[in-house]
Copies of this chain bind each other. A is one copy, B any other.
Amino acid sequence: MQTELDPVDVEILKLLQMDATLTNKELAFKLSKSIATIHERIRRLKEQGYIKRIVAILDRKKINKNLIAFSQVLLKEHTASTLYAFENDVAKFSEVMECFQMTGAFDFILRIATSDMDSYHLFLRNKLATLPNISTVQSFFVLSETKSETAYPL
């Protein structure tokens, strides 16, 4: 069974990354293939895990997530268990959109979404700073979002 992407697969992925509401008919027309072929390609792209999920992207300002912060976290210890415990604890906070373990001068970078500075402050004081083994947290705030892509180039 084919597991590499051919040019048609690539085009489908490009288009669905931009707009997943495109119908098979529309894709078939754009790519000069039959509807059945497009359908089978997409089924396989999902099955093989290229497409992880189809989701709605919301306007965060309309749902009151006006403040985005990047929080750089340094831990006191770096044993396997403390790293794992931190990752596990921090993932439970709904404000934490993303958590990355990093190279360099700090251990983790978190992307935090809250309504405003007061909410971020409460998150920091009552949630993040209460986790064991935290050494320092440095917070940086987004002034403006210039580019925001979910679509990877192919």
Contact = CB atoms under 8 A, between A and B. Distances in A.
Interface of A: 5, 13, 16-21, 48-60, 62-63, 65, 68, 70, 87, 90-91, 94-104, 108-109, 113, 140-154
Copy number of this protein in the oligomer?
2
B59 A49 contact: yes
7 contacts: A17-B56, A51-B56, A54-B56, A87-B147, A98-B149, A100-B146, A109-B140
Most chain B beta-carbon contacts within 10 A, residue among A56, A58, A152: A56
B60 A98 contact: no
Contacts of A21: 54
Contacts of A103: 140-141, 143
B16 A98 contact: no
